[in-house]
Amino acid sequence: MPNANSLPDLGSLFHRVSRAVRKQTSLALHPHGVTPHQARALMLLARAGQDPAGTGGLRNSQLAERLRIAARSATEVVDQLQEKQLVQRTADPSDRRAWIITLSDRGRELAALIRTDRQLQMSDFFARLDAADQQTLHRILSSLIVEDED
């Protein structure tokens, strides 16, 4: 019978599950022609576009902050998305030096498709657990999340 010393530690198990989820996500995004970073940017911009109090988009600095990457890296992601005609940049009316990044119609459609695909993919992934275990896992993981994270 295994004892506590012979079992993998929680951090290692969590890392392995996280890696499996990332792999599944990459596989699901591949047919859409976007990387996980690009998809995350699309999801953040979609959420910003739904904010009735917002501008409908984000400045590059805001996007970088929410992606937790350097502003230059965020610019590269936005450039890639703009090349794919998924986002557009418009002048920020409150600061002529800044741009507001918003989803194009095509970007909104892709964001919705990715969201649906991701929900199905994660539903399939977690189907290995029965409903009670899924609820327990949800409760446990929710308790580990820091409030300021996305």
Q: 98-120: per-residue pLDDT in tens?
A: 899 999 999 999 999 999 998 99
Condensed to tens digits (0 to 9), the pLDDT of residues 65-107 reads: 999 999 999 999 999 999 999 999 999 888 888 899 999 999 9
Listed residue (88, 72, 83, 86) closest to 42, CA to CA: 86
Condensed to tens digits (0 to 9), the pLDDT of residues 26-44 reads: 888 999 999 999 999 999 9
Q: What is the separation of C-alpha 95 from the centre of its chain, rounded to a whole number of angstroms?
A: 28
Q: Where are the alpha helices (DSSP H) in the chain?
A: 10-29, 36-49, 60-67, 71-83, 105-126, 131-144
pTM recorded for the entire structure? 0.81
How far apart CA 72 and CA 79 sit, in angstroms, is 10
Per-residue tokens: 81: 């998305």
pLDDT at 96 (0 to 100): 82
Listed residue (117, 94, 135) closest to 42, CA to CA: 117
**Is 138 within 8 Å of 127 (Cβ atoms)?**
no
Stretch 124-147: mean pLDDT: 92
> Can you give the residue ranges of every domain in the chain?
28-120
CATH of 28-120, one of 3.90.550.10, 3.40.190.10, 3.20.20.10, 1.10.10.10: 1.10.10.10
Of the pLDDT bands very low, low, confident and very high (cuts 50, 70, 90), residue 52 is low
Residues forming a β-bridge with 90: 100
